Structure 1
Amino acid sequence: MNQTKKYYTQNTHHKTNLFSQIFTDFKGALWAFFHTEGFWKYICVAFFLYLLGITAIIRADVYYIDDWGRSAIGYKEWDNFSRYISYFLSTFMHMDSVLSDIAPLTQFVAIGFLSFASVIVVWSIREVLWKNETSIWEEKEVPHKKRLTILGIIASLPIGLSPYFLEELSFRFDSPYMALSVLFSVIPFIFIHHVRAYIPVSILCSLGMCMTYQASSGIEIILVLFFGFLMLNQTNAGLKKTLIFMGVSMINYIIALSIFKFIIMHPFAHAQAGTATLTPSNFIEGFLENLETYLDYLWNDFGWSGIKISFIALIIFFILSAIYQGKNNKILSLTLSLLVIIFGISFSYGTYLLLQEPLTRPRAFIGIGIFTAIIAIYIVSSWRGWAYKQEDQQQTNSEKLVSRNLTQRIFFVASGVIVGMLSWSLIVFANMYGNALAKQKEYQNFRITILLSDLANAIPKQVSYDDYLFRVKGWVTASPVLENSSKSNRIMKRLALITDGKYWIRMVMKHYGWGEIPEEQWIELPDSEDPEKIAKNQKCIPETAGKLIKRVNNIYHKIEVYPHCAIITFKGEEKYTHKEIEEEEALQPLIPY
């Protein structure tokens, strides 16, 4: 009995001691982070820069995709996608279980989360780069004033102003929780020197990401990859500690995703994507197909505008910097930097690479913005590595550029210019997108107003919507402003859709007071016009629909009214789309040389 009691006491003491150590590490890391000199100043700088980027989006005042339904009905439905944190937090955000439009407050909250994410990423990268050459890897340090800089914050802007993340920021209701998923993904790296705190925080934050917005699933992967590169290429961590860090991080990630998949998540699918993963029989083929699709979008979404040119220059400077300041021989540093680029870009798509039907909307490509940011932060922080190599502590701690030699000064200035060009390109693109969004909204409202007016005059007054169908072909095409903005950057067309399917026509009509139109009316007949599915609705096929009661035909649309159905055909052709690229590639083999 005494032995049992003694064992229980020792075991309890051991657990208590472990929890105490975890809490001590947790508290110490947070203290070092929040007590960095100028911390709140840099939060404000990041917030201002993000606000500068999304000013045009806020001014556009657009109901973007789901916003139509949420504003008209007040539904949540994030639980359908197992985003339970988003579901419950929205009640506190709106102070009601029925959602109402409170934008731009939600977008301000979103860029607040992004500002913290930017500061965390800059601080974490520089925490590793600026660690004293002789210090132990896990040793705690007094916060240094150079952990955060204005240039570092500017370099971090791709986190939230990546053209792909602009879709997240366009949502009036979803944007805070999408941004929160990014914040969840970067929080663990505050504790990168405190393994006892890093493990539980990493698992909990990965779960948080899964329950807010799963498109951020690639962020933690590429950050672990990048920090592994830093540890191996230019710190005293060594190969063993690097592999332990990456291995522990991978286990944390797998544990979190397994808990989510097998305990929390419920299967769900819709027209754009689903939760079903690749089967073992087609895993390699499906994985490569998803990767090819993803890379195709990344390359073809942009023409040779400032964003693509700056990104390529950034990659070149990253390779040069990695070689020049690496602790290893140049060939190994070159190899490591190339691996970071190849795997970083590829795995930035995250777990979507493993899905049978991954989402390919711009909002699914969050990871590439984080990848771009960490590369940018790295090259503007790299001059510290030269001071390490020269074992010159005075130069290492000096803020004066003049203390560097000519090569270092040229490279540092050039790096700053490249990063500045990239960030400015992103701010320019964001405002160009916001203005195009406003004009597309204006054009769409114009087209919808004409449509509703014609429908109101064409459909018999005695029609009961419960027994009446609307068959829709096509949708509102791009406005002239959007077409022009898409010439060099085809992603603009993908971003500024505002509504992206027949389902949303019901929401638009409801928003304009058309009445209680059953949802099923808009999903009976898909975009593909599948003959088998059309055959199920004989009353909406011209040959079997009965007498043509009325026809409206103008330059914008055609409406054919039958006793129990109205067929709406939108007119117009699109240019500068990915479909156009596919058609060009399909014709390429037919072109004689």
Structure 2
Amino acid sequence: MNFNLIKFNWWVFAAGLLYILPLILSSVDYTDDIGRSVSGYGWGIDGRFMSTLIMQMLSFNQWIAPISPYTQILAAVITCLTGIISVKAIYKKEECVYFLSLILLTSPFYLENLSYKFDSLSMALSILLSVFPLLFIGKSYFIPISVASLTLSLAMYQTSAMVYFSIVLCYFIYREPELSFSEFVKVSSSAFVSFLLSFLIYSSILKCVAGDVARSEFLSLDGVFINTILFRTHAYYDFYSYLLNSGYSLAFLPFAIVVIYSYFSNLIFGNESIIRRILLYPLFTLMMLVLTMLPNIVLEEPWYTARTMIAFPFLIFGLSVICVKHAHKLVVFTSIFILYIYGYSISAVYSNVLKDNDKYDDFITTSITEAIISNSESGTNNVIIIGRSEYPQKTRNLYQVYPILYKLAPLYSTQDWSWGVRNLSRYTSLNYVYDARKRQEAYANLCKNEIIKATSLYTLRKSNEYYLVDFNKTKC
């Protein structure tokens, strides 16, 4: 890859910056951003020590400084570059197919990754590193480059490793029907060995650097292993159903028709054996679908969030590779363009919802904080949330129209969620009560505590140890 390739595809970067513009303009601290802004902590507990190092270098300090929107802008640019590299790695010299480069950036699930003011840059870099080795596939140095890239990628965002396998599957799809069994075995084994070596190196470094690999441990092979796998797989039903019910089904329909046409075109007119024509495309597609869910299926500690769906756009990319092989490019690009339009639309809707939710949260936080400060002489107070705050009047209908917002823009002020208290800590120091037993006792004894403020939105009570924010407005 050379500079001329980037220069030729300048429009990809321009489109990428336009895509992230609503998110930049919203300027909302997203979940972890609030804590990192206050405490300046890194990602050591998550095993992402390279993410910490990168942000420390950019901050010129051990304290992680808020340097957004530059982090998010760079994340968008890097993701566009990753899209260009993905196309280059698969198609080599076919210039017209660079239209597919925006599939990665415009994935609805990827909006969460881009929302993080602190995390977005390292996440984007980790995806780039997962795709980069494919430029050297078939070369003698493919394995060492893969090992080095994947080790760095794992140290930035572990889930991105699924992207590596996804892009390898996209390569197999492109090579079909010329793909020989020996080439399949050689590339597959090289990719697996590369990942295994990189994971071992990463785990060894992690033990030395952090001493805690709990979030990188795999699910135990015990008596409930199969049931756990099935339960976790079913948990992804919500992700896909929420997305499809958010208008994505209409946007996806033309592309789905082209995919089906391409499959049957290969089935009818392909030259390879009938079994191969029937099985290979569906098998590769199923494998890429599994990769979108795999981290939370096999890891001991799952995180059911949209940001872990980082391999989803590569599923779409893989399907587009099938379509380009068997359908007219103009038809394929038109169906992809409709998905792009949806992506830009949901980006704007999502960004406005984040902004309006943040204004509402700030209104609630100010009200609660003023009451706590006026009733406390302590600089730090323990807070327990009961129930869940309501959705703002301005956005509640949008959640019904776009259910995917429940996954992308959740309400922070929710019972038993530490980020609810973190969200209330904008103007003063408030502590979340991590002891579940103490929280249960507080719920049970709620009515024994005096009310210090009652509104139509919440009731604030005070005990000897805690302030209790009751969004249920419990009647005693």
Q: TM-score scaled by structure 2? A: 0.89
What 5-or-longer segments of structure 1 have no aligned partner?
1-32, 128-143, 384-407, 526-531, 573-593
- One of 89, 100, 117 as aligned partner of 1:124: 89
**Matched residues, number:** 464
Q: Alpha-carbon deviations, 1:115-167, whole Å to 9, x = none?
A: 2100011111212xxxxxxxxxxxxxxxx4x3x33xx3442323122111111
CA distance in 1, matches of 2:421, 2:246: 37
Larger Rg: 1
Contact 1:229 1:340 in 2 (8 A): yes
* 8 Å Cα contact 1:113-1:180 kept in structure 2: yes
- Would you say the 8 A contact 1:219–1:350 is kept in 2? no
Aligned equivalents of 2:319, 2:110: Cα separation in 1: 17
Match of 1:197 in 2: 141
Q: RMSD across aligned C-alpha pairs, in angstroms?
A: 2.7
Aligned to 2:434: 523
Using the alignment, how far apart are the partners of 1:567 and 1:441 within structure 2?
22
1:81 alignment counterpart = 46
Q: Is the Cα–Cα contact under 8 Å of residues 177 and 212 in structure 1 kept in the other structure?
A: yes
The alpha carbon displacement at 1:476 in A equals 3.0
Q: Distance in 2 between matches of 1:439 and 1:476?
A: 14
Residue 83 of structure 2 contacts residue 103 of structure 2 at CA under 8 Å; is this kept in 1?
A: no
User: Within the alignment, does 1:109 sit opposite 2:74 as a pair?
Assistant: yes
Change (3 A) 1:263 1:71: closer
Is the 1:558–1:569 contact (alpha carbons within 8 Å) kept by the matching residues of 2? yes
Does the aligned pair in 1 maintain the 2:246–2:403 contact within 8 Å? no
Cα distance change of structure 1 residues 293 and 246 upon mapping to structure 2, 3 Å threshold? same
- Check 1:177–1:508 CA distance in 2 against 1; reply closer, same or farther (3 A cut): same
Q: Give 5+ residue unaligned stretches, structure 2.
A: none
The structure-2 alpha-carbon separation of the partners of 1:498 and 1:59, relative to structure 1 and needing over 3 Å to count, comes to: farther
Q: How far did residue 335 of structure 1 move?
A: 1.9
Matched letter for residue 64 of structure 1: Y
* TM alignment of 1:310-325, pairs within 5 A: 310-324=251-265
Letter in 2 for 1:198: F
- Whole-angstrom distance in 2 between the partners of 1:234 and 1:109: 38
Out of 26, 49, 52, the position equivalent to 2:18 is 52
How far off its partner does 1:549 sit? 4.5
Q: Which residue number in structure 2 is paired with residue 375 of structure 1?
A: 319
Change in CA separation of 1:524 and 1:376 when aligned onto 2, cut-off 3 Å: same
Structure 1 distance, partners of 2:170, 2:413, is 36
Native 8 Å contact 1:303 1:488 kept in 2: no
CA distance 1:125–1:378, shift in 2 (3 Å): farther
1:161 aligns with: 106
Which of 375, 384, 405 is 1:471 aligned to? 384
Report if aligned partners of 2:47, 2:216 keep a CA contact under 8 Å in 1: no
Q: What secondary structure, in the 3-state scheme, does the structure 1 residue paired with 2:30 have? A: coil
Q: 2:336 aligns with which of 419, 425, 431?
A: 419
Report the CA distance shift for 1:349/1:40 in structure 2 as closer, same or farther (over 3 A).
farther
| Residues 323, 333 of structure 1: 8 Å contact kept | no
CA shift, 1:537, in A, is: 6.9
Q: How far apart are the structure 2 equivalents of 1:304 and 1:116? A: 31
Q: Partners of 1:312 and 1:352 in 2: how far apart? A: 28
Q: Cα distance, 1:479 vs. partner?
A: 1.9
CA contact (8 A) 1:221 1:348 kept: no
- What's the CA shift string for 1:494-527, capped at 9, x where partnerless? 2112747643344344431x2x44x4x43234xx
Q: C-alpha separation between the residues in 2 aligned to 1:321 and 1:109?
A: 36
User: What are the superposed Cα offsets for residues 149-199 of structure 1, whole Å, 9 maximum, x if unpaired?
Assistant: 3xx3442323122111111111111110011111111001111132x1211
Matched, 1:183 2:183: no
CA distance in structure 2 between the partners assigned to 1:199 and 1:275 by the alignment: 23
1:243 counterpart (175, 181, 185): 185
* 1:240, distance to aligned residue in structure 2 (A): 1.3
Equivalents in 2 of 1:343, 1:186: separation in Å? Answer: 17
Give the direction of change, closer, same or farther, for the CA distance of 1:263–1:106 in structure 2 (3 Å limit): closer
Please say if 1:307 is aligned against 2:208. no
Structure-1-length-normalised TM-score: 0.72
* CA–CA separation in structure 2 for the residues paired with 1:564 and 1:79: 31
Identify which of 171, 174, 180 aligns with 2:119.
174
Asked if structure 1 preserves the Cα contact closer than 8 Å seen for 2:285 and 2:319, the reply is: no
* Deviation at residue 315 of structure 1 after TM alignment: 4.0
For 1:342, the equivalent position in structure 2 comes to 286
Q: Does 2:462 match 1:558?
A: no
Secondary structure in 2 aligned to 1:356?
A: coil
Change (3 A) 1:555 1:300: same
Q: CA deviation at 1:374?
A: 3.1
Between the aligned partners of 1:289 and 1:506, the Cα distance in structure 2 is 29
2-structure distance, mates of 1:348, 1:220: 12
